[in-house]
Amino acid sequence: MGDTVKELPRFFSTEDVRKILKIGNKACLELFHREDFPCERVGKSYRIAEENFNEYFKTRRVHKWKKRRFKYATFKPSNTILYI
């Protein structure tokens, strides 16, 4: 029972996770609803301990997706556009 405020774990809300990961609300909620995501439901909201959050993303690969840029090429006789 010697826990002080400094020793208690810090928890992130869905809004905190959205800001950290720079994702939208829908993607964040999908993450919190995953079975392998170690979060807890508190009332109507979700929370995840900072320690669990860090451990979860240490074991995951994160991809940075590049936006594909297409150039218009030529038109086929069927009026469809080819992308290069």
Amino acid at 12: F
- The string of pLDDT tens digits covering residues 26-51 is 999 999 999 999 999 999 999 999 99
User: H-type helices in 1-84, by residue range?
Assistant: 14-21, 25-32, 50-58
Alpha-carbon dihedral sign for residues 6, 42, 15, 12: positive
Instruction: Report residue 7's pLDDT band, with 50, 70 and 90 as the boundaries.
Output: confident
